[in-house]
């Protein structure tokens, strides 16, 4: 199964005074790919959150930086499922600098499924579990 | 009456690849000074919002950029009341680059008082009106 | 001549605790549309900046907020040229909430052409002037 | 030796539509504490970078989220040295929600000392090594 990939161009505002993307923004690129992953599955993350009273806050986030990204670079975030349990899901990501043909970074996130009314961890609904399981 | 001033040091993440503060961040500096203005008056903006079910979304924001800010520069935001009506308040701001002894930018904002339950404009409560009126 | 339009989906990170897009991010949406405008003309803004030693810092930015944007909303930024002089260009923008069929905001920016080696204002090169003039 | 601590108040713009601080901003809080750490040692990070032609890009960043931060919360970042080698330094951090008396997050970063002219890793200068070693 091919992995999910989301292509994008680096924004000016994402850079810092060293003329490279600020390290915190890689986590935002991951999050953007996550939103696009829902879209690819015909879902809107915003609607899932609202209709199911769910959110997926992160409990863990890490990233290893390999090569910088610059303004305007073509880049690509690849997501792959690393582990799914009853109430949480761990996703690995890679960000590639397509312009330079190099891997820019890789990392992982652990998301917990919470009910936004109680802010308590709950089981991931079957439909969402299925979606994540198809991630590759 | 002396004007309200909030001093700060420019963050690394606020800069862009030209090694100056990104223009959008000046609006965030204004907002930070606004939060500190509440504190100076013994209030917490977060509590005012929660207890009174109020928010002050912007209807208008503008800024003129005069001289760049750089990482680590000492800066200062000065707020002054330009106009207050029943449901809205207009605030002028100046941002000074203290390190370089220059004005960095000036601008203004118009904030409307809304009830966060209805998202409708409402009268600014007397206590908050008084606080804004003391801005100088 | 049809105006330039750039479609996008609102990011999670762009929202604030009122569950709407933070007002400062509208300026970043404008900037993103500007980058995509270069792409539409077969240019890369990053390369123009590097090869011509040019940058277009803002001297003026303003925005009027009409209707909020929420996470996941389909939106569209429309750019139109308001004025072009020897060394500066003023661009009007509108941001539409396509999901809700409403205008979210409108505003304008004035950009000055500077030589990044001297940080002095210089004439806009013919090729770039032509590009901006085709904005509609 | 007491550890380095930097106190701050959570900004409005740092929150997201769940009314908590966006997870990427914890990395920015870490960075802000790092800047203040230089100040505490009578140095300006910006001047160190400029005068020594040095930068400390991250090669690794991770964070575990324990309890949310909200707009206006009093918070505190604590830094402690975990490891220092010839060319890199690893720093652990904890972010505490002082308002709620809870730990909000903990994590670590590895920074590599690079020469900004060659973008190559170089030895950490003695003066900077000494500063980091005093971190506690």
Nearest C-alpha of chain D: how many angstroms from A54? 11
Contact A24 B16 (CB under 8 A): no
Q: Sheet with C4-9: list strands edge to edge.
A: B4-9, B74-84, B88-97, B102-112, B58-65, C58-65, C102-112, C88-97, C74-84, C4-9
Q: What is the pLDDT of residue C64?
A: 98
Query: How far does the CA of residue B129 sit from the closest CA of chain A (Å)?
Result: 34
Nearest chain C residue to B16 by CA distance is: C57
Q: Of the candidates D11, D31, D45, which has its C-beta nearest B72's C-beta?
A: D45
Measured between beta carbons, the chain C residues lying within 8 angstroms of D23 are none
Chain C residues near residue B59 by CB distance under 8 angstroms = 64-65
Please tell me which of the candidates B13, B31, B35 has its beta carbon nearest to residue D9.
Answer: B35
Q: What is the pLDDT of residue A90?
A: 98
Predicted pLDDT of residue B1: 66
Q: Both tokens of residue B119?
A: 């998202």
> Is D60 a residue whose pLDDT tops 80?
yes
Q: Please give the average per-residue pLDDT across A24-40, as a whole number.
A: 98
Interface A–B counts its CB contacts (< 8 A) at 29
Give the tens place of pLDDT for each residue, C61-96.
Answer: 999 999 999 999 999 999 999 999 999 999 999 999
- C24 to chain D: nearest residue by CA? D13
Residues D63, A61 contacting (CB under 8 angstroms): yes
Model confidence at D1: pLDDT above 70 = no
The CA distances from residue B125 to A130, B48, B98, B129, B134, in Å, are: 50, 10, 35, 6, 14
Query: Would the CB atoms of A18 and D60 count as touching at under 8 Å?
Result: no
Chain C contact residues (CB < 8 Å to D): 12-13, 15-17, 19-20, 22, 24, 70-71
DSSP C63-89: EEE-S---TT-EEEEEEEEEEE-SSEE
Res A2: pLDDT: 79
pLDDT in tens, C17-42: 999 999 999 999 999 999 999 999 99
Name all chains with 3 or more CB-CB pairs below 8 Å to chain A.
B, C, D
Nearest to A58 by CA among D28, D70, D63: D63
Contact D64 A60 (CB under 8 A): yes
Q: Supply the DSSP string of B72-114, one letter for each residue.
A: T-EEEEEEEEEEE-SSEEEEEEEEEETTTTEEEEEEEEEEE-E
D16: closest CA of chain A, how far (Å): 11
Chains in contact with D, where contact means 3 or more Cβ–Cβ distances below 8 Å, are A, B, C
CB contact under 8 A, C71 and A39: no
pTM for the whole structure: 0.97
| Spatial contact of B17 and A16, defined as CB atoms under 8 Å apart | yes
pLDDT bracket for residue D100 (50, 70, 90): very high
* Nearest chain B Cα distance for residue C61, angstroms: 5
Q: Calculate how close chain C gets to A61, using CA atoms only, in Å.
A: 15
**In 10 A of CB D34, how many CB atoms?**
20
Predicted-assembly ipTM surpassing the 0.85 threshold:
yes
Judge: D11–B35 Cβ closer than 8 Å, yes or no: yes
Closest residue of chain B to D45, computed from CA coordinates:
B72
Mutation site for A-interface testing, chosen from C12, C31, C49 by largest number of A Cβ within 10 Å: C12
Nearest CA in chain A to B13: A16
Is the predicted pLDDT of residue D116 greater than 90, yes or no? yes
B1-17 pLDDT tens trace: 679 999 999 999 999 99
Residues from chain A contacting residue C70 (CB–CB below 8 Å): 46
**Nearest CA among C60, C58, C95 for reference residue C75:** C95
Q: Shortest Cα distance from C59 to chain D (angstroms)?
A: 23
Crossing angle of helices C25-40 and C45-52, rounded to 10°? 80
DSSP state of A40: H
**Is there a contact between A17 and B13 if contact means CB atoms under 8 Å apart?**
no
Q: Please tell me the distance in Å from A93's CA to the nearest CA on chain D.
A: 14
CB contacts of A32 in chain D (<8 Å) are: none
Query: What string of pLDDT tens digits covers the 136 residues of chain B?
Result: 679 999 999 999 999 999 999 999 999 999 999 999 999 999 999 999 999 999 999 999 999 999 999 999 999 999 999 999 999 999 999 999 999 999 999 999 999 999 999 999 999 999 999 999 999 8
Q: Which chains touch B (3 or more CB pairs under 8 A)?
A: A, C, D
Rg of chain B, C-alpha, whole Å: 15
pLDDT for residue C1 is more than 80: no
Is residue C131 within 8 Å of C113, Cβ to Cβ? Answer: no
**pLDDT value for D48:** 94
**Chain A residues within 8 A of B16 when measuring between CB atoms:** 12-13, 15-17
């Amino acid at each position: 199964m091919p992995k999910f990939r989301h292509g994008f161009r680096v924004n000016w505002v994402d850079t810092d005074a060293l003329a490279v993307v600020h390290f915190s923004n890689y986590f935002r690129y991951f999050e953007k790919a996550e939103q696009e992953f829902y879209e690819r599955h015909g879902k809107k993350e915003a609607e899932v959150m609202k209709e199911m009273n769910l959110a997926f806050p992160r409990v863990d986030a890490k990233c290893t930086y390999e090569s910088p990204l610059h303004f305007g670079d073509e880049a690509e975030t690849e997501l792959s499922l690393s582990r799914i349990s009853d109430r949480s899901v761990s996703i690995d990501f890679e960000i590639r600098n397509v312009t330079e043909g190099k891997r820019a970074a890789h990392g992982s996130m652990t998301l917990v499924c919470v009910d936004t009314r109680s802010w308590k961890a709950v089981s991931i609904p079957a439909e969402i579990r299925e979606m994540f399981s198809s991630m590759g």
